Amino acid sequence: MKSKAFFMGLLFVVSVLIFKISVAVGSNDLLREYETSEREFKRFEIGNKIVYFHQRMIDNAIVEKDFIVYQFDTATGILLKKKVQWRDDLPEHILFSLLSKEDAESIAEGEILFSTLYIISPESDVFPLDPTPTNPCWVVRSIQDGNPIVTIIDAVTGEWLDFGVPPPYTGFSLSGPQYWNPCEYTWTEWYQNARDWFQTMGYLTETAVWPTENKVKSHIQSNTTALFYELAHGGSTSFCSGCSGSTSCENTSATEVASWISTYTKMPFTFIGSCDGMCDTGSGTLSYEFRKGSTTDTATIGYCGMSGDYCSNCWSYSISWQTALFSYMNDSYTVKQAYNNAMADYPVCSPTEGACMRFAGDQDFKVVPVVSRVCESDFDGDGIADCIDNCPEHPNGPALGLCVQTGCFTFRYSIHPCSSDNDCGGPCMTCLMNQEDSYPEGGNGIGDACEWCYADLDGDGKVFPSDAMVLLGEWKRKDCSGETPCQADIDGDGKVFPSDAMILLSEWKRKDCPVLP
């Protein structure tokens, strides 16, 4: 009886604890134990974490790089991490009257996009002024002659101070040029930060400023380059990698990437640092082509909307964010876990309008320990490595192909391997030694040799009784050749025997056979 009472009491206590945890996790009260001030926190759910973020403001001015972040475990509500970055030399309120937004914008050149009031950090990456202004500053974003401009104006005196570092702008321009006509400046801190982290992870890394097309191509057409980083003007389908004639962008397009990488393995990791580089990740985009459409052992990360107003605060943390990302990747987190952790550390990059940093690819993929792009296995012996062969089960490459019937009855593949037309015997047969991908119309990334129905003897797109009738009509023939062809000699051995019937049975009732004119 005592045991039963003890058990019931224990069950009650556990139930109460579970209830309390559930209430805590399900509410917005996780901060109550840690925050008693009236500060406003934004709540995010990132991966398996609940994250609260406070951006420090003094009146209407953003205090650059000052913030508080709490990270809680979603399931238990336990505090996992707290990060505070807070200057102690600032007043509680702005003590001076300020220049109006309209007056600040009248000082800047070009077409005005938007303006933001900042108290600039001494550690600023994007407003690198020396000395650091003590007054609040208007940061005005504009565009002139296609070039993005960041103008910094003292909001107390109205004095023009300098230009800031613009984010890569959509539409034009490894580091590519910040400006063109003439081409000027680079995102030095960003691409050098990536280089340093890549080398820390174990990858010997080459850097290039305004690289030529051949330089970019050489790293895409490579069996060794496994991590690729670009920070340049551009969008989801192209980026301005170099400078042509010192006056205009030399763009690298997704179409070029697809062409260059076609006979090489997919890029294991790509950082697409163009303002809208990751807004679209479907077919025909940079993300898709670097991954070759795969979501296995490959990942892309990059920007979306970085030139927009809602991501302007995230841009101030962009180097810090990628430092966090690469640090977690170096600690052997998966790329997706590293992404989630960086977003949790800097939730300012996940505004309600949509994440300014985005991920696509394999959620279980890691780059530490070091990964390789080398692929050596060639199952079908056709001279194309399995990892880039669009049909690794059947030979369709420069070293070995398949005999195809190009006349007499209809176009169709045989299962007979060949290295020349002489191996196929007769004028109706040809040795096809390429990665033909014509079906369905426009191709689908799978070689025709792997989609073909070898037993579709009448070419109607199905393996049905009509094909069996063709085989029965030629049953036991032994004289199949170019001069006296046999439609039912499926394996190309010159006879219509049980081996051909076995192939027909293995494909029986298929309805998805390619039909070519």
- Return the CATH fold of 386-506: Type 1 dockerin domain (1.10.1330)
pLDDT of the residue at 103: 96
pLDDT of the residue at 157: 96
More confident residue, 412 or 468: 468
Q: Are 251 and 244 in contact (CB under 8 A)?
A: no
d(CA 235, CA 223): 27
Most confident of the ranges 44-48, 219-223, 257-261: 257-261
Q: What does the domain layout of the chain look like in residue ranges?
A: 39-164, 188-361, 386-506
pLDDT of the residue at 15: 38
Computed over every residue of the chain, the mean pLDDT equals 85
CA-CA-CA-CA torsion sign (343, 344, 346, 352) = positive
Strand order in the sheet with 412-418: 412-418, 401-405, 429-432
Specify the DSSP element, H or E, that contains 198.
Answer: helix 188-201
pLDDT of the residue at 425: 64
Mean pLDDT of 166-187: 70
0.85 exceeded by pTM: no
d(CA 152, CA 508): 73
From the CA atom positions of the chain, what is the Rg in Å? 31
Specify the DSSP element, H or E, that contains 468.
Answer: helix 465-473
**How many CB atoms within 10 Å of residue 363?**
14
Mean pLDDT of 11-33: 47
Q: Concatenate the DSSP letters of all residues of 79-136 into one string.
A: EEEEEEE--SSS-SS--S----HHHHHHHS-SEEEEEEEEE--TT-SSS--SSPPSS-
DSSP 8-state code for residue 73: E
Helix locations, 265-376, DSSP H: 286-291, 312-316, 318-330, 335-345
pLDDT of the residue at 356: 94
Q: Would you state the structure tokens that stand for residue 356, as one six-digit string?
A: 């300014």
pLDDT of the residue at 482: 62
